[in-house]
Amino acid sequence: MGAGFSRINALTIIQTSQGLAEYLLAADSTTAKLGVVIGHDARHNSEKFAGCAAAVFMQKGIKVWWYEGLVHTPMVPFAVKDLHAAAGIMITASHNPLQDNGYKVYGSNGAQINSPVDTAIATSIARNLQPGVWGLDGSIHLRENILLSMKPKYRDALTSQSQLFQQLQNTPKFVYTPLHGVGLPFLVAAMDQIQLSTLMVPVEEQAYPDPDFPTVKYPNPEEKGALSLAMSAADRGGIKFVIANDPDADCFAVAEKLEDRWNQFTGDQVGCLLAYYIFSASPQPMNKDDCMLSSAVSSQMLGVMGQEEGFQVVETLTGFKWLGNIALELQKAGKRVHFAYEEALGYMIPNAVLDKDGIAAAILFLSACASWGSPWAKLQQLYERYGYFETMNTYWRSPNFETTSQAFERIRTFGNPYPLQVGSRKVLRWRDLTQGYDSATDDNIPSLPCSKSSQMITCWLSGIEKDQGIRLTVRASGTEPKIKCNSLQ
């Protein structure tokens, strides 16, 4: 956040909203009546930015379905579907550093916008830069509050699949942290619905919204030390489980005490555990019409699980704009989509929301724990059944876009058309989704979508005596100034 056209501020929010409004009006003559859903989290300026966006839409005669209080991000796509709105906007920067904020857009289908819609909206923004409004005017009558009506509907949707909530009397006690975000009231409501709220012990220092995130360096449950306060609280209470959401509660993390140490599960481990629980709880045997999805940097364990158990696993590009929209395409083709995840602590249960949802993931994981006891012990059983898979993720902070691009161009100079070796391992396959190259296809064109605006290189490396090979991906983050490295065995 800051002044200038390269920062997020009241002006750029207004310009973005004007472009989006004009795009929606041109695309559908019923947009004004259908309206847009607008929500915000507790970050600095989030409420102000949401108000600026609402003013633009109302000034253009478009109804605004307004969340009159703090909400977690999945509440926006949920309301878009429930109200059949033309679009949804969430003001949030998720688990980014405290100086950030963002503007997240959902289409009328309840999924994040994707290409080519995003490009068309960007073009419309560029054509509508002159501010037409700076605050609320006489069009306030076009705004309707929806928080009180949406909260019980969302809560009911989370628990609508009764087969997933069978043995709740065995649910373990747990410590919960929303990392100074908005998650607590939504998790409390969900736990009340299944009559388990007494099992939750919130971390007092982190339980309530604080946009300065005073107890953590970064409000990201993936970051080292982010769960330290929660683990300490659990140790004091003799509690073996810690669960966490990020500040806008669309991500979910969990740790289990194993004798004298805490084990924080990776996103891949949680994803595969949730997938297996959904599979095992299915009232009917799954077949090729039953689908689960994962991203291209997630573990291959889910794919092996699908092969062994008979359901289809679909791989997409990273991000829930891909997972959500491809889930919709599969549903339109007559498939049953049960679950989607990516390694960065994001999990989607499509019957509720077509986006990652940390609250839904939390109650589903707790239900699995009630059935299994120890999720760590269950994971070891899954390794015995499907093989052992290891995930090693890291990242480097990049000062700017140019440095990131230079780093990837340097990688590409190590071979022509690609390097033949990485360390002591041979390169068996090389896929560059920025350049549009895949050494494994007949025409060297990747099957996944390519984009010159995003950096992503994946190579498959030969195995050594202790493993069967590695899939290594280096990519630029789409939401943070990071270069990410994902290594899968």
Please give the positions annotated as active site. Answer: 94
* Distance between CA atoms of residues 410 and 241, nearest Å: 44
With 0-12 CB in 10 A as exposed, 13-18 as middle and 19+ as buried, what is 126? exposed
Question: Which residues does 261 contact at the CB level (< 8 Å), separation at least 6?
Answer: none
Buried b (16+ CB within 10 A) or exposed e, 28-56: eeebbebbbbbbbbbbebbeebbbbbbbb
Q: Which of 115, 162, 139, 117 is nearest to 56 (CA)?
A: 139
Side-by-side strand order, sheet with 312-316: 312-316, 290-295, 336-342, 346-348
* Distance between CA atoms of residues 488 and 315, nearest Å: 15
Residue whose pair of structure tokens reads 């990485």 in the numeric block:
422
What single letter denotes the amino acid at residue 178? P
Give the helix/strand (H/E) hosting 206.
none
Q: CB-hemisphere CA count at 13 Å for 183? A: 34
Q: Which of 127, 125, 145 is nearest to 17 (CA)?
A: 125
Give the helix/strand (H/E) hosting 358.
helix 358-372
Chain centroid offset of residue 424 CA: 35
Helices (H), 373-426: 375-386, 401-412
* Distance between CA atoms of residues 384 and 226, nearest Å: 31
Q: Are 289 and 282 in contact (CB under 8 A)?
A: no
Answer positive or negative: Cα dihedral of 211, 206, 396, 421: negative
ω into residue 116 within 30 of 0, thus cis? yes
Question: Which residues does 185 contact at the CB level (< 8 Å), separation at least 6?
Answer: none
Question: Which residues does 318 contact at the CB level (< 8 Å), separation at least 6?
Answer: 295, 296, 297, 342, 344, 456, 475, 478
Question: Which residues does 15 contact at the CB level (< 8 Å), separation at least 6?
Answer: 125, 128, 129, 131
